[in-house]
Amino acid sequence: MYQPMLARSADPFTNPDWIFEVKWDGTRAISYITQKVMFINRRGVDITYRYPELQIKDNVTAPCVLDGEIVVLVRGTPSFADLQRREHIDDPFKIRILSRELPAVYIVFDILERDTIDLTGTPLLERKNILQQTVSESERLLICPYVQEKGGEYFTAATESGFEGIMGKKKDSLYYPGKRSGYWLKIKKTTTADCVIGGFIRGEGVRKSTFGALLLGVGCPLQYVGKVGSGFTEDDLIHIRDLLTQIETDRNPFSTPVPVDDVHFVNPVYVCEVKYQQVTHDNRLRAPVFLRMRYDKSPAECLQW
């Protein structure tokens, strides 16, 4: 099984040695296509059964391994909220209903193998050409377009159209499975971080029945980087409360004492994404705001900003 290549963060730039693609707000998945189709997410979990509409084996000319993003599109842009409704349903009946109400699309942007030949050592633009020769588009399968050189202009156009940002990729870059490489860069309109949830604080007032804030950490051992108490919808508060109360522990998962009262520690198994203004001198997130849970990411991936 292949692990997906990862990207570092960067600001918009223009460079003739690079191509630029939309950054799709969905679930990263490697697809293995032979006589059947299998989708494996970043955590190595088989999620094929959740997307019965993605029967794309007739859209390839040879057995292959593809890299892409599963998204739910609303008026042409990804809706992560709608995708999350698909992500955690295991009941076959509900899966069938949602596959019709909120059908997913697989946006493919790379090919890692064709006819059992490993292509990860092939330069990016050559892989793009092989991808075009291997895959035909359909309602449920799209090939991610790209532009060359003009990353600054493309970033502005993409974000103004409702996308969260773009990806920059060096034209001659190889594919490094499971590695976070400077050859791929994610360029987003806000500064965000994926953080491990290590605990929560009980809420007060209208939040008395849920929680007041989540305690966040990164690294191994887990380093406390602050708490986030804003950005949650009512559904978020209830859902996350139900998740965390099942994994409470007496053990502090952080490497140092946490300077917060009335803490309820949890086993550090869940990841969330937050946006923030900056990192302070004592390595805390300034003004973090909750964006979403990231069930597709493991705590081991939260090693840096």
Question: Do residue 48 and residue 114 come from a single domain?
Answer: yes
Task: Give the HSE-up count for residue 56: Cα atoms under 13 Å, Cβ half-sphere.
Answer: 30
Task: Tell me how far apart the alpha carbons of residues 160 and 171 are, in angstroms, rounded to a whole number.
Answer: 25
Question: For 57-66, 195-204, 238-247, 270-279, which range has the lowest pLDDT when averaged over its residues?
Answer: 270-279
- The pLDDT score that the predictor gives to residue 84 is 81
Question: Do residue 151 and residue 68 come from a single domain?
Answer: yes
Among candidate residues 155, 188, 221, the one where a domain is terminated: 188
Question: Do residue 154 and residue 111 come from a single domain?
Answer: yes
266 within some domain: yes
Cis peptide before 221 (omega within 30 of 0): yes
Task: Answer yes or no: are the C-beta atoms of 274 and 291 closer than 8 Å.
Answer: yes
* Across 150-175, average pLDDT: 94
40 within some domain: yes
| CA terminus-to-terminus distance, the chain | 27
Give the number of other Cβ atoms within 10 Å of residue 130's Cβ.
18
* Across 21-28, average pLDDT: 93
* Across 147-151, average pLDDT: 95
Question: Do residue 184 and residue 213 come from a single domain?
Answer: no
- The pLDDT score that the predictor gives to residue 174 is 98
- The pLDDT score that the predictor gives to residue 99 is 94
More confident residue, 206 or 109: 109
The domain that contains 229 carries what CATH number? Answer: 2.40.50.140
Q: Given pLDDT bands bounded at 50, 70 and 90, which one contains residue 305?
A: low
More confident residue, 76 or 98: 98
Question: Do residue 228 and residue 294 come from a single domain?
Answer: yes
Question: Do residue 57 and residue 176 come from a single domain?
Answer: yes
CA 197 from chain center: how many Å?
Answer: 16
Q: Is residue 281 pLDDT above 80, yes or no?
A: no
What is the domain count for the chain?
2
* Across 215-231, average pLDDT: 95
Question: Do residue 117 and residue 214 come from a single domain?
Answer: no
* Across 170-187, average pLDDT: 95
Q: Is residue 120 pLDDT above 80, yes or no?
A: yes
- 105-126 as b/e: b if 16+ CB within 10 A: bbbbbbbbbbeeeebbebebbe
37: helix, coil or strand? strand
Which value, in Å, is the radius of gyration of the alpha carbons in the chain?
20
Question: Beta strands 223-228 and 213-218: pairing type?
Answer: antiparallel
What pTM was computed for the model?
0.75
Active site residues: 23
Question: For 44-58, 241-255, 271-285, 289-303, which range has the lowest pLDDT when averaged over its residues?
Answer: 271-285
Task: Tell me how far apart the alpha carbons of residues 228 and 288 are, in angstroms, rounded to a whole number.
Answer: 6
More confident residue, 120 or 9: 120
- The pLDDT score that the predictor gives to residue 278 is 78
Smallest CA-to-CA distance from 111 within 178, 6, 165, 33 is with 33
Task: Tell me how far apart the alpha carbons of residues 294 and 305 are, in angstroms, rounded to a whole number.
Answer: 15
Q: Given pLDDT bands bounded at 50, 70 and 90, which one contains residue 25?
A: confident
Smallest CA-to-CA distance from 89 within 80, 99, 79 is with 99
- Domain that includes residue 41, residue range: 6-188
Q: Is residue 9 pLDDT above 90, yes or no?
A: no
Cβ-proximal residues to 156 (8 Å cutoff; 6+ apart), any chain: 12
